């Protein structure tokens, strides 16, 4: 399992992240913060397209916490990841380079 500095605060780490398979999201239990993904290439590639954290919960590291949950899911299910979401490609991956091994290609904004 890859590790790195997630930037999550203790408050964010204590929040439970739920996999909502039907809506293709990883979300907080209250459903206010989420990471949206699409499956591509016959379900073998997870394209992480969007993260959202409401203003009232920003600054707690929730986007990072959601992203770690999604990457852990991808890794444990042998999925490659396309980080289309700019937060993931421009902030999360540079701060957590150990996750690069899970990426679909060298071009992190690749489109299948």
Question: In sequence order, which residues have a C-beta less than 8 Å from that of residue 5 and are 6 or more positions away?
Answer: 95, 96
Res 110 pLDDT > 80: no
User: In sequence order, what DSSP letters do the residues of 37-61 get, joined into one string?
Assistant: EEEEGGGTEEEEEEEE--GGGTTSS
pLDDT score at 3: 38
| Domains of the chain as residue ranges with CATH | 17-101 (3.40.630.30)
* Residue 76 confidence class, pLDDT cut points 50, 70, 90: very high
Res 2 pLDDT > 50: no
Per-residue pLDDT tens for 15-70?
A: 799 999 999 999 999 999 999 999 999 999 999 999 999 999 999 999 999 999 99
Q: List the one residue out of 11, 8, 29 whose CA is nearest residue 19.
A: 29
In the chain, what percentage of residues exceed pLDDT 90? 79
Active-site residue (options: 8, 53, 85, 93) = 85
pTM for this predicted structure: 0.82
* Residue 14 confidence class, pLDDT cut points 50, 70, 90: low
In the chain, what percentage of residues exceed pLDDT 70? 81
Indicate if 85 belongs to the active site: yes
């Amino acid at each position: 399992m890859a590790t790195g500095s997630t930037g999550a605060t203790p408050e964010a780490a204590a929040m439970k992240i739920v996999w909502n398979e039907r809506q293709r999201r990883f979300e907080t239990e209250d459903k206010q913060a989420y990471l949206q993904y699409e499956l591509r290439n016959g379900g073998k590639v997870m394209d992480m397209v969007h993260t959202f954290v409401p203003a009232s919960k920003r600054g707690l590291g929730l986007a990072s916490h959601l992203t770690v949950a999604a990457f852990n899911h991808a890794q444990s299910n042998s999925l490659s990841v396309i980080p289309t979401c700019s937060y993931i490609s421009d902030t999360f991956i540079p701060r957590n380079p150990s996750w690069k091994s899970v990426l679909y290609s060298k071009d992190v904004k690749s489109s299948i």
